[in-house]
Amino acid sequence: MYLRPLVRVVFVQKCFLSTAAGGSVSKGPTLWYHASDVPLTKPYDSKYKPSKPAEKFVKFSASDCRRLEGAFQKWSKSQKETKELTSVPVNEDFLFEVNIPKMVLKPTYWRGPTYEVRRGIWMNANNNPLAYELTAEIERFYAKMDSSLEGDKEQEKQDLFRFTQPYGKHRMVLFVDKTTAYLLPDLKGGELQLKLLRTNLIPPMGDKITRGSSSNHLTDAAASAKRTIENEIQGTTKQLGKLSDLISWELPSVFGMPDSKDSTKGNDDDSDVFKREIETDYDNDATTPQRDVKHLVLCVHGIGQNLGKKYEYVNFAHTVNILRTNMKKLYMESGKLQKMNRGDGSSDWRENCNVQVLPISWRHTVGFQTDATQPNKENPELPPLGDITLNGVLGLRRLLGDIALDILLYGEPYYRKRILDEVKKHLNDTYNLFKERNPGFGGEVHLIGHSLGSLILFDILCEQDDFKLDFDVKNFYSIGSPTGVFKLIQRTKIGSKQDEPEETSTSFQKPKCENLYNLFHVCDPISYRMEPLVELSMAQYQAANISHWSAGDGIASRVLEFGGSILKDIPGTAIKGQKPGNGKTMLPVDVVEKLTKLNRTGRIDYMLPPGFLEVDIIAAAKAHVSYFEEPDIAGFILKEILAKNHGNHDVIVTKLNRSSDA
């Protein structure tokens, strides 16, 4: 994927290098571009307005350009009659769409910044396309100029035109030939100045523009492509901003600690944050922009998304992009994963994992503002949060207000129902939109919930009569989840839909999914286990380990356990007949039967062991927010999605050392 700028250069050459005898550029596919440095709008910020015009534009892929131009021509002919809004899906996996009448690029499945779109008809000195309205007017004048050149030789040739409105400092356009023109201010020297301009006796006082692209532009583009390749060679995921970096530059200041080496990341200009995302998160030059998808994964965020109003770095869509990128990267490196996927009959099984991952952002639609200065819009008779917040350790209080209050909201019946309704609606809307955009999709749907999001999904899956989903759930991955402690407080056990009712004083919740996974980092202070809520005896056994990723061998068969021992199997997926040893034991058959009703592997709890010296508060906070950045998590989820159902098997577990915190 690091050669994609070079692909763009080759495409430009195909389109514009060949010239006709008269020197005009040959007719080739029209290139389309979108801005990447200055958004037109920002999510959740209705007051935002661009402070300057966009200056950085990125070309769409060849196939996107063809479809965009076709839709544009069709819309141009019919708009006066039907005024039909034309939306064209674009970019990797068609995750974005272009509104042709508005010339705007926006995400398809989530709320995000929107960007200006331009057709590459007339280019400025930086090889950027001119704005749509300016281009349209120049093209009208160009047609008049062209027809005058083809007319009677005695007729005066028309090459200067005044715009119907000013475009910045530009008031008119002077055509030099069929490929070159100048944007000019008002001519103070009158006809004499104009004659001098036409004869090139005085330097141009305007800005040169070119129809199509020149060889000099191609040289510049090739050099730019080379620089981009060199910058990207370090690896895509290293360029992606990580949510865990927020902890490095925000939390130390709250507690009065020295800033870490990453502290400058919080000072990025907002537009730079979005620019880095839209330029690095997606591979938009794939030959086939839309992959065949057999597994749709919907990810629900947890606490803290209100921070996105203050720090655009806290961007759940971007976080999910990292997970999607990691999955694709690991799949390309793993012959084992490819082999697991080969049997499904896909022709592109070597490079396509057939998994699509989309974000579900719900917090901003629930209400209850945590902004200190915002009035209470829902209940004007009540004060805003800032009016009851103490001034002591104000930074910490505000941080907790943006994060911890989400949990308090979920504990209040009014907001709990509101949250469940909103998340259910977002899930169904995203699923149905995906089906609409992918009419051939008939595959499986999986859910990932992080933090509070996992508790929300757990309750939705257990309360399908009230919060009905439009799809069945194959795998539910609960990540960094407090579900265990919530259910303990609620005196609730976890069971399977297949279980017979029991006479007990405790209540049961039974999530409607085929496989339930509870993934956590052992240093995560928010996470709790679930298996003891299914079967009390599981409290004496360690959680299964999540395998470490090995680039040379896919998902490695060796993992470093928290105790320091090296296991010789992938925990939780033991082979039938394997003999236990070294402190291991086989689970009783009746316990295995209980667990396999909730997960085909016979395990529910899976843990990431800590790195060395990960014991301070910064490491603990990072552990909770970094799951989507972990290749081990991406590899585990992908492996379990592609794995086929196992039959009955023995489950080997490790006795828990009560002196440890594992």
DSSP state of 23: S
| 454 counts as catalytic | no
Distance, C-alpha 296 to centroid of its chain: 14
Tokens of 444: 């499986």
Q: Which of 451, 478, 496, 547 is catalytic?
A: 451
Distance from C-alpha of 197 to C-alpha of 180, rounded to nearest angstrom: 13
DSSP state of 80: H
Distance from C-alpha of 29 to C-alpha of 553, rounded to nearest angstrom: 43
Q: Which residues contact 498 (CB under 8 A, 6 or more apart)?
A: 597
Three-state SS letters, 557-594: CCCECCCCCECCCCCCCCCCCCCCCCCEEECCHHHHHH
Q: Please report where in the chains the tokens 């805003």 appear, as a residue.
A: 384
Distance from C-alpha of 638 to C-alpha of 326, rounded to nearest angstrom: 10
* Residue 166, phi then psi, degrees to nearest 5: -70, 145
Residue 608 in contact with residue 624, Cβ under 8 Å?
Answer: no
The helices-and-strands tally (H runs, E runs) of the chain is 19, 24
* Residue 186, phi then psi, degrees to nearest 5: -65, 140
- Give whole-number Cα distances, 400 to 29, 315, 660, in Å: 53, 18, 29
Tokens of 631: 């290749």
Per-residue burial over 550-562, b = 16 or more CB atoms within 10 Å of its CB, e = otherwise: eeeebbbeebeeb
Closest CA relative to residue 133, chosen from 143, 122, 144: 122
Phi-psi domain of 554 (left: phi exceeds 0; alpha: psi -120 through 50; beta: other) = left
* Residue 147, phi then psi, degrees to nearest 5: -70, -30
* Residue 152, phi then psi, degrees to nearest 5: -60, 130
Catalytically active residues, by annotation: 451
